[in-house]
């Protein structure tokens, strides 16, 4: 760690390196002064700036002269075509919109749809008689037998208790 400046350290410079590279005007003078006087920090920033400058060499070709002609032909096709349906427009809106303020509204609408559709689902089940408790007769019989067995066990326990507590009748 190099402390070339009494207040600013290399760590401070490293933290502000993105700003030094991308937005130098926002960097405090002390940090800029530190970087200027600290060889490792200077080297780090210089290498980033060199890479940044090197990227300028990547040139893109100009659009061809027929770009507009082809585009206008496609626009004319779009004009002649029937208007997009609701779902297509919604899809485009969701994909390409940047409206952050609409997100809460969309989340609320989605929640409402889920609540309504969930309620409808339960309601439909109720209407069509697909409710819970349509067990077969065999299962009902087994449950009944199980209940009876439990009841008999409990009665036996009660009788045993009574036998212990009460004195035998003469």
18 is a contact residue toward other proteins (CB under 8 A): yes
The size of the interface with other proteins (CB under 8 A), counted in residues, is 44
CB closer to other proteins, 17 vs 32 = 17
17 is a contact residue toward other proteins (CB under 8 A): yes
Stretch of 16-24, 118-126, 129-137, 159-167 lying at the interface with other proteins (CB under 8 A): 16-24
x/- letters, 73..102, toward other proteins (CB under 8 A): -xx--x-----x----x--xx-xxxxxxxx
12 is a contact residue toward other proteins (CB under 8 A): no
64 is a contact residue toward other proteins (CB under 8 A): yes
Which one of residues 2, 37, 51, 154 is an interface residue with other proteins (CB under 8 A)? 51
Which one of residues 4, 14, 19, 30 is an interface residue with other proteins (CB under 8 A)? 19
Q: What angle do CA 100, 103, 105 make, to 5 degrees?
A: 130
106 is a contact residue toward other proteins (CB under 8 A): no
Whether residue 42 contacts residue 17, with contact meaning beta carbons closer than 8 Å, is answered with: no
x/- letters, 123..142, toward other proteins (CB under 8 A): --------------------
Tell me the Ramachandran region of residue 133: left when phi exceeds 0, alpha when psi lies from -120 to 50, beta otherwise. left
Distance CA 6, CA 3 (A): 7
What residues make contact with other proteins under the rule CB under 8 A?
17-19, 21-23, 47-48, 50-52, 54-71, 74-75, 78, 84, 89, 92-93, 95-102
């Amino acid at each position: 760690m190099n402390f070339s400046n009494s207040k600013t350290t290399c760590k401070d410079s490293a933290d502000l390196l993105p700003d030094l590279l991308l937005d130098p005007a926002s960097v405090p003078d002390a940090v800029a002064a530190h970087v200027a006087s600290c060889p490792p920090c200077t080297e780090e920033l210089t290498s980033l700036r060199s890479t940044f400058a090197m990227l300028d060499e990547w040139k893109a070709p100009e659009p061809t002269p027929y770009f507009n002609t082809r585009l206008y032909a496609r626009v004319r096709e779009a004009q002649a075509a029937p208007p997009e349906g609701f779902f297509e427009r919604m899809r485009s809106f969701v994909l390409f919109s940047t409206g952050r303020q609409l997100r809460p509204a969309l989340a609320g609408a989605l929640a409402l749809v889920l609540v309504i559709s969930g309620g409808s689902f339960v309601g439909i089940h109720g209407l069509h008689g697909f409710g819970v408790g349509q067990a077969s007769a065999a299962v009902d019989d087994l449950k009944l037998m199980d209940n009876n067995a439990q009841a008999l066990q409990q009665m036996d326990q009660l009788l045993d208790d009574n036998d212990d507590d009460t004195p035998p009748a003469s």
